[in-house]
Structure 1
Amino acid sequence: MKPFKLFHLMTAILALAAFASGSVLLGRAAFSALKPPTISTTAIDVDGFGPVAIVRAENRLARGLVILVADEADAEARRQDALALAKEGLIAVSFNFDALRADFAKAPPDDECHYVSDDLKDLAQAVQRKLGLKRYFFPVIAGRGDGAAFAYAALAQAPANTLGGAIGLGFKPLLRTDRTYCFDPKLEPAGDGLFALRREPHLPGPWLAIAPESERGSIEAFQGDAENVDFLPAGDEATARKVLVEGALRFGPTGERGHSELPVSVINPEGPVTGLAIVISGDGGWRDIDKSIGEWLAKRGVAVVGVDSLRYFWSKKSPDDVAADLALLFDHYGKAFGTDRYALIGYSFGSDIMPDVWPRLPKAVRDRVDLVSLLALGTNADFEVTVGGFIGAGSSESRPLTPLLRQLPLERTQCIYGKDEAENDETSCTAPEMESAERVALEGGHHFDGDYTKAAEAIWTRLNPTP
């Protein structure tokens, strides 16, 4: 055989061999994606939900997580929904909705209403920890029949940055429940164990209603001109399932990301810029006290970058990792907003990490930080969000804070704590090592009795921004 032909023959053989091993151009990951998905179903017990089924593709990277809500009468449709979602790389989670409602009905009579969005958040976190996901996904709630109204109610109740969105198949604005869900004003009874849902003009995430075209008028009349809502018609089961999957893929990766794809939310300042504050949230994410304080400061000219600890620390970070990312954020957003006056603020989990992170920040950043404000500072620090952390249990790798406190720039440090925490020895703000820092005692405990304004005012007073 001539050398030229032999060369081409050998090249072809090697190319085929390389393709068979998944290493040509497409790479191993892409080659794997060409294989049919390997669907697995597992079950775990989750407090408040009982047995929970998890359906996923073992050989696909996760693209989101969907919690399916349907009566047992729709069990087969729910199973097919889960398979369709899993084939597209989504993790489908389902439970016995009838049993859940029966549990709701057992609540004490003095529990006037049901609040479900945080329960669903806890379910999503438990599942994602069980699966060992490296990235946290806000759950998408998808309901069928009565579950469609449940999905809308859950989204309407949720704080920002809690749920990825909600989808209702066969949606009607009537909620079957033993008592109203927690809304102000309360939902009105509609007879036969039903309560009439109200339009929520500012939902915290996207909503999609799926129903036959004949239902468009009534559904769009209910949705009105509310933000972030949609209706898509589906006249048969196959079309409805296709639209469900497409909607879930669209909602699944939700959650703001900023510079360097970090999970941050940026609040633009009102009026002239007086400084830049990076606020590291508690382990529940960027949604309550931290977000409220950020919005309060932004109204007074402070550019705010909120770090969502739930997503950022879902995978373990080292203090050096955190310091490097904070330096990137200060540099980028300081230039973007034209300021070199910085404040570093943390709440709970976000304040606990600060003593270990501060000395690792570049000197150029530390020199520009006028204030380090620690809210609800605890006694131990973790660098990974744990499910146990939400009930006050630290991880096995928690580090005591006391030996680290003197690393802070105490003359520029403010420690805001609840008086109840001090009485129960649950804060390091009162430690002798913090004597040189400013201490601010507020009424209440870890959440300052919900009076976030007083905490924001204390920060603002200390910042003392220039006009």
Structure 2
Amino acid sequence: MRNLIVLLLTALTVDAAAATSPVHYGLFGELHLARPAQTAAQTVLFMSDANGWDAREDAYADALAAAGNLVVGIDLPSYLKQLESIKSDCAYPAAHVEEVSHWIQRHENLVNYSAPWLIGLDRGASLAYAVAAQAPAGTFDGLVTLGFDFAFRLRKPLCPGDAGKATVADGKRGFRVVPVPRLGNPWLPRPFAPGANIDGIGHDLARLHDHFWRRTAAAGPAALVGSLQHWNRREARRREPLPQDVADLPLTEIAPTATANGRIAVILTGDGGWAGLDQGVAEALSADGVQVVGFSTLKFFWQAREPDDAAAAVARVIGHYAAGNPDARFAIVGYSFGASLVPVVFNRLPEAAREKVDLQFMISPDDEAVFEVKVGDWFGGAHHEGALPIAPELVKSPVPAYCLHGDEEDDSVCPKLTGENVHVLHLPGGHHYDGDYTGLGKLLLQNWPLRR
């Protein structure tokens, strides 16, 4: 009965959605865009089955758009052809999929960025699972796999991601998708499949093997819409609201998992938002008794800001958490886009907030701080009006300022920085430090001793 009601509601509202329209974008070629009648509640990236985008996928897109979602349809055969033409030892489709999410939300003039849902149909479900496994945690709001295709093979492996290797060699047949120990986002395996948990608790693909069949009809459009709505309602009930004085800021609170020791780290994320590295560093800090407040630069700087806007926001964060713990000591931490903001923000804090900060910790900063996330940044070459060089900001720092870079980051600004309180650190790896986020957190802690 519940499914029938959802189906009827979908049928009654589907005419309100705009017709699917083509939009051309890079490696994906022609995307299939279904717009909701009102402002989009969330964005959905939908990968087609092996036959490409046709009426079957249109039915899903129409139902999702009628329910308030902006739907971006990806023609699987077209994309795979382009992906496999790239000359590289391994493929990284997670970057392409994240880029198209950024681009389409900018293209559609969405006021606020939101992490998309990733949905795949049959063979598209297999690739969607692999992409979700490869992407940093937090890249997607969730994953839905409608069916699965265990016969699907790629011509080259996928590069390992934060969750490990999602493909393995299968003799001369190519590379097959395999389960990872744990995905970095919620997963709804084929809604309403026999024995499947529609709340997406399971993380072991092998356990669900019996519920996936290569040619079995997947859950229909109405069931998919109902499952997403059920999930969103449940998450809304579970989500703890932020305190009123900081409720308008894009914050994520991480409580200490060890005995709290009066240290609070404010992490300014990279331009991918609250994702893998930021979350990994936060986990390491919380395990040492540090309270963490994640600040999504992707959300805050989706619209252009002034330097003083950023400083005022961080000052509010410090003021709020210091009110509950007047003796707390703070560190301002940043990664990539957020790292370059650290000295600019610190120097513009009100004196009362600045006096509570023990150190600045910059992980792979750029040489300039910018105050708007631009789509061109993901492709390189974007020009930024009003960018501020970080070197002059650091020269006048009255507190220790640590600049960390990976040994493989040949163009790092860190070795070029000077100042009485500037300290350069390095760790193995490149911009993502070989996924050793625990090591990053430990290095920060080594340079932030407890006050006795």
TM over 0.5: yes
CA distance 1:448–1:138, shift in 2 (3 Å): closer
1:241 matched residue in structure 2:
221
2:413 matched residue in structure 1:
427
2:9 matched residue in structure 1:
none
Alignment of 1:194-233 (within 5 A): 197-210=177-190, 216=194, 225-226=202-203
For residue 407 of structure 1, report the CA deviation from its aligned partner. Answer: 8.0
CA distance 1:428–1:249, shift in 2 (3 Å): same
For residue 150 of structure 1, report the CA deviation from its aligned partner. Answer: 1.9
Residue deviations 1:288-345 (CA, integer Å, cap 9, x gap): 4333332222222211112122222222222233223222322333455675211111
Alignment of 1:436-455 (within 5 A): 436-442=420-426, 447=431, 449-450=433-434, 455=440
1:64 matched residue in structure 2:
42
CA distance 1:174–1:363, shift in 2 (3 Å): farther
Secondary structure of the equivalent of 1:463? coil
Does residue 148 in structure 1 map to residue 115 in structure 2? no
CA distance 1:168–1:445, shift in 2 (3 Å): closer
For residue 277 of structure 1, report the CA deviation from its aligned partner. Answer: 0.8
Equivalent pairs counted in the alignment come to: 419
Q: Unaligned stretches of 5+ in structure 2? A: 1-12
Alignment of 1:98-117 (within 5 A): 98-108=77-87, 111=89, 113-117=90-94
Does residue 290 in structure 1 map to residue 275 in structure 2? no
Cα distance between partner residues in 2 of 1:174 and 1:135: 39
Cα distance between partner residues in 1 of 2:406 and 2:177: 37
CA distance 1:81–1:133, shift in 2 (3 Å): same
Secondary structure of the equivalent of 1:284? coil
Contact 1:358 1:407 in 2 (8 A): no
CA distance 1:192–1:396, shift in 2 (3 Å): same
Does residue 130 in structure 1 map to residue 107 in structure 2? yes
CA distance 1:392–1:296, shift in 2 (3 Å): farther
Q: Unaligned stretches of 5+ in structure 1? A: 1-33
Secondary structure of the equivalent of 1:397? coil
Identity over the aligned pairs, expressed in percent?
27
Cα distance between partner residues in 2 of 1:416 and 1:86: 44
Cα distance between partner residues in 2 of 1:414 and 1:294: 17
**Counterpart AA for 1:268:** A
Residue deviations 1:178-223 (CA, integer Å, cap 9, x gap): 3444455664567995866444442222222336x7x625x67xx9
Does residue 463 in structure 1 map to residue 448 in structure 2? yes
Secondary structure of the equivalent of 1:370? strand
For residue 127 of structure 1, report the CA deviation from its aligned partner. Answer: 0.9
Q: TM-score, normalised by structure 2?
A: 0.79
What is the root-mean-square deviation in Å for CA atoms of aligned residues? 3.8
Does residue 366 in structure 1 map to residue 354 in structure 2? yes
For residue 251 of structure 1, report the CA deviation from its aligned partner. Answer: 6.1
For residue 242 of structure 1, report the CA deviation from its aligned partner. Answer: 0.9
Cα distance between partner residues in 2 of 1:464 and 1:238: 55
For residue 400 of structure 1, report the CA deviation from its aligned partner. Answer: 3.2
Name which of 154, 161, 164 aligns with 1:177.
154
Contact 2:52 2:75 in 1 (8 A): no
For residue 120 of structure 1, report the CA deviation from its aligned partner. Answer: 1.0
For residue 394 of structure 1, report the CA deviation from its aligned partner. Answer: 4.1
2:10 matched residue in structure 1:
none
Identify which range, 298-307 or 193-202, moves more after superposition: 193-202
**Counterpart AA for 1:124:** S
Name which of 364, 386, 394 aligns with 1:376.
364
Alignment of 1:380-391 (within 5 A): 380-391=368-379
